[in-house]
Amino acid sequence: MRLTVRAAEGSGIFLLAGILFIGMAGCGAAYSPPPAANTVDMDAARWNILYGAGMPSHPAATQTGWQFDMPASPGSVHYVEVPFQATEDLTGRTLTITFRVVSNEPMYNANVETGESGPPSFHLFLEHLNDDFTNQYYRWWCSSGGYNLGTQDNQTITISCPLTYTSWSSVYGVVDQSHFTETLNNLGWVGVTFGGRGGWGHGVNLLGGSAQFQVLNARISSSN
């Protein structure tokens, strides 16, 4: 059920449906304005791999973008994001990512946090500037902009999500025009998060095999 989704992803303590969640401490990497406004920076060194275990701080640069190896259990990957600066109205534009998952007999696992379940996936993600994980309307996930790991591995895939409020939901699965627009107007980060059915940022790892996540392009544009 998506209402219980992301309660444990912020810092602090949340009580939902009688269950106590203790979230991750801290609020991620320090924000540093990108060199170009209104552009998703593809410099691997500016992308941050956050809240996981057994992962580097940044992906590795490639000729076409960047990449990282999916971690074996007990390691995990959760948030992967880059600073973004908007000086224009982003409403109605589209966030797009082109990627490959190069794998060999992978056994993806979303049961990284207790009670989580599959399918292991990643989703497109937006985060408000100066988010400290206490405001439920400062992080947004695209409902349709996701990929279930293993379903189309070893292919080049493009997924997109319009920056319209009906396509995005917040920490507790709320769809809200005013709060989403406020985040777009004060956007600080874009990226992807990995998780399962219970939490799209609660982490994924491998129980066997191998997989490498490769991003070839990411952009916000007026069209796909």
H-helix or E-strand spanning residue 179: helix 177-185
Report DSSP state, residue 31.
P
Closest CA to 22 of 147, 122, 133: 133
pLDDT tens per residue across span 10-20: 333 232 322 22
Model pLDDT, residue 33? 86
Q: What is the pTM of this model?
A: 0.87
Q: What CA–CA distance (Å, rounded) separates 78 from 213?
A: 13
Q: What CA–CA distance (Å, rounded) separates 110 from 40?
A: 28
Model pLDDT, residue 32? 85
Please report where in the chains the tokens 């109205």 appear, as a residue. 89
Give the mean model confidence (pLDDT) for residues 51-66: 96
Distance of CA 93 to the CA centre of its chain: 18
Give the mean model confidence (pLDDT) for residues 115-124: 93
Q: What CA–CA distance (Å, rounded) separates 158 from 165?
A: 21
In the chain, count of helices (H) and strands (E)?
1, 15
Q: What CA–CA distance (Å, rounded) separates 86 from 84?
A: 7
- pLDDT tier for residue 124 given thresholds of 50, 70 and 90: very high
Q: Are 103 and 212 in contact (CB under 8 A)?
A: yes
Model pLDDT, residue 28? 66
Residue 43 has pLDDT above 80, yes or no: yes
pLDDT tens per residue across span 178-207: 999 999 999 999 999 999 998 999 999 999
Q: Phi-psi category of 167—alpha, beta or left, where left has phi over 0 and alpha has psi -120 to 50? A: alpha
Q: Which one of 2.60.120.260, 2.60.40.10, 1.10.4190.10, 3.20.20.210 gives the CATH number of domain 2-221?
A: 2.60.120.260
Residue 121 has pLDDT above 50, yes or no: yes
Task: Return mean pLDDT, the chain.
Answer: 88
**Domain residue ranges in the chain:** 2-221
